[in-house]
Amino acid sequence: MPKEHILIVDDEEDIVELLEYNLNKEGYKITSVTSGEKVLSLAKTHLPDLVVLDIMLPHLDGLEICKLLKKDSKTQHIPIIMLSAKGEEADIVTGLELGADDYVTKPFSPRVLIARVRTVLRRAKMAPTDDNSILNIHELVIHPGRHEVLINGESQDLTFTEFKILHFLARRPGWVFTRNQIVDAVRGEDYPVTDRSVDVQIVGLRKKLGDYGNYIETVRGVGYRFKE
């Protein structure tokens, strides 16, 4: 069976060669470009299954490319993994908020990159989870219809906001969400949630969940995710 088509966008030849070699070994079909200007037309005419996109590109940078791809109805469904140098945490956060699905920092292990590629492609194939479906994570049960969380059959006393945050993260295990994305997920309720108050809510949520609080992981400089 032929594997998925991956579009690599990076202006560093050694990085491109490293990516091509390792992804080809895994059986993926690869197309590589070194400038952002070529990406938009190529992505529309030869729809890839995934884009591996460097943030630091000349002229049209990765963040702008991500924004344009996610705005276009033809390409908005294509998952994106951002590549960034260490110390670009602000750019990583911006990329995630623009719609990128994951990120890998340079220098990176090819094995880590391949694992991220597999995970993102697997997520893309999965049908979106129904907002009202019950989530079962070992002995943790999240019942959105009742706004109830059970651990070993015992109901947990969560606030409305704590429940919304937990449900939002648990519906997409492994996905990294920025604080602003979490705020957007619970916005519109009567509780004044801000990006700073998200940290306070997470602390309280972890404490109430006991051992299950460890499932909520902090991604330093970026935000939070529910352990996959």
- The helix/strand count (H/E) of the chain reads as 8, 12
CA-based nearest residue to 172, from 128, 113, 207: 128
Domains of the chain: 5-125 (3.40.50.2300), 135-226 (1.10.10.10)
Query: Looking at the predicted structure, is the pLDDT value of residue 83 above 90?
Result: yes
Mean pLDDT of 158-187: 87
Contact 55, 83 (CB under 8 A): yes
Query: Looking at the predicted structure, is the pLDDT value of residue 127 above 60?
Result: no
Better-scored residue on pLDDT, 37 or 143: 143
CA-based nearest residue to 2, from 24, 20, 18: 24
* Average per-residue pLDDT for the chain: 87
Mean pLDDT of 93-113: 89
Cα angle 89, 53, 33; round to 5: 145
